[in-house]
Chains A and B, each alone.
Chain A
Amino acid sequence: IYDRAITVFSPDGHLFQVEYAQEAVKKGSTAVGIRGKDIVVLGVEKKSVAKLQEERTVRKICALDDHVCMAFAGLTADARIVINRARVECQSHRLTVEDPVTVEYITRHIATLKQRYTQSNGRRPFGISALIVGFDCDGTPRLYQTDPSGTYHAWKANAIGRSAKTVREFLEKNYTEESIATDNEAIKLAIKALLELLESKEIETLVTEIEKEKEEEAEKKKQKKST
């Protein structure tokens, strides 16, 4: 049963299993990642849970090592496997070369793992896209994205999951030097991006700041109109 490949090419050059996996990702709750000057921000859409379910057990942002984190969109169960492999690799790397992983290295490791599952007998691809953030030894902030096909790219800001397109468009418009000038600003940008798609929940002080800014903008516009 395990000697036949599941992911095979279609006549017009598509890997349908990979594309179906990408569809599964599109069904997952949104995650956004932003690279600032001295900060990297990960935000995730908090899915509303069933009444009797314990809310706090749904963890979508996970630490891979002391200096690297990731968020994912897609099949939570698949994510668990990938995250576990990444965590082991982080420690294994430290053991063999006495240095923590660079963000690019661990991203490449995860991506290679994902690709392997698109070309193995009896296996299906992982149904997750991941946003991997962290700082390298030299203090440079990094943000990478991987997808079920096993490709990875570095980004200044990106989103994955359900409303990825909307959030990415918002980021393309609003990611400027000013908007990431300070750590707080970068965090606000991430929250604003997520607010684009859902009614705000419990993000307290920063939300009030954002509302104040909106009022100030509205005031300015009114003044402009009256002059």
Chain B
Amino acid sequence: MEYLIGIQGQDFVLVAADNVAAHSIVKMKQDQDKMFKLSDKILLLCVGEAGDTVQFAEYIQKNIQLYKMRNGYELSPTAAANFTRKNLADYLRSRTPYHVNLLLAGFDETDGPGLYYMDHLSALAKAPFAAHGHGAYLTLSILDRYYRPDLTRDEAVDLLKKCIEELNHRFILNLPSFSVRLIDKDGTHDLEKLIPVGSK
């Protein structure tokens, strides 16, 4: 099953997602990127029903870009999160709901870093750290124990590594690698892929 995680620091947000695209018991792809760039400083991490994920995420992505073209400036992360939630909510009570779980991470000039948790029932919550998937049950307690609001970038990455090691240790499914990205005032940065010990 898929896994997403986000950790907010003082002036950055760190996010990671696993890279497996599976169909039933087969790993179809081991380098799937589950993060969608909504704008220079906003990332949408999206997991769930096959097809729904990409369709919904790309739809939101293009609408965010359209807003930029129409208005000359980009939507803030808060606005983008609420827009996404509204879309999800509208489709929820239609014949064609999107079954997706999301994390939206962004950096705002005035408000600073922000991490938003959204699920397939269109709940929206701003949180200092969050995770999706079965892996969340194993890692949220680690985040509870070790998270501090004043984490440095390196400390946040170490905390992330702790979580991933726990998955490697206790989670029944093998998740061989994780894409990691960091958002701060300078935009989105790709960090090194995290590969738990023992995976190829």
Contact = CB atoms under 8 A, between A and B. Distances in A.
B70 interface: yes
A65 B62 CA distance: 11
B66 interface: yes
Contact of B59 (A63, A87, A95): A95
A63 B68 CA distance: 10
Interface string B107-118: 000000000000
A154 to B, nearest CB: 23
Contacts of B63: 91
A56 to B, nearest CB: 12
Contacts of A87: 66, 69-70
Interface string A55-95: 00000000111000000000000000000100110111011
Contacts of B58: 95
Interface residues of B, number: 9
Interface residues of A, number: 11
Interface in B54-112: 58-59, 62-63, 65-66, 69-70, 72
A84 B63 CA distance: 13
Contacts of B59: 95
Is chain B's interface secondary structure helix, strand, loop, or mixed overall? helix
A68 to B, nearest CB: 10
A200 to B, nearest CB: 27
B37 to A, nearest CB: 13
A4 B70 CA distance: 34
Contact of A64 (B62, B69, B72): B69
Nearest to B65: A91
A95 B62 contact: yes
A87 to B, nearest CB: 5
A212 B72 CA distance: 36
Nearest to A86: B69
Contacts of A84: 70
Nearest to A90: B69
A84 B66 CA distance: 9
A84 B71 CA distance: 11
Contacts of B72: 63
Contacts of A94: 62, 65
A63 B65 CA distance: 12
Nearest to B59: A95
Most-contacted residue by chain A among B58, B63, B66 (CB, 10 A): B66
A90 B72 CA distance: 15
Nearest to A94: B62
Interface string A78-117: 0000001001101110110000000000000000000000
B62 A92 contact: yes
B70 A91 contact: no
B85 to A, nearest CB: 20
Interface in A24-64: 63-64
21 contacts: A63-B69, A63-B72, A64-B69, A65-B69, A84-B70, A87-B66, A87-B69, A87-B70, A88-B66, A90-B69, A91-B62, A91-B63, A91-B65, A91-B66, A91-B69, A92-B62, A94-B62, A94-B65, A95-B58, A95-B59, A95-B62
Interface of B: 58-59, 62-63, 65-66, 69-70, 72
Interface of A: 63-65, 84, 87-88, 90-92, 94-95
Given A87-B66, A91-B69, A95-B58, 5 more contacts: A64-B69, A87-B70, A90-B69, A91-B62, A91-B65
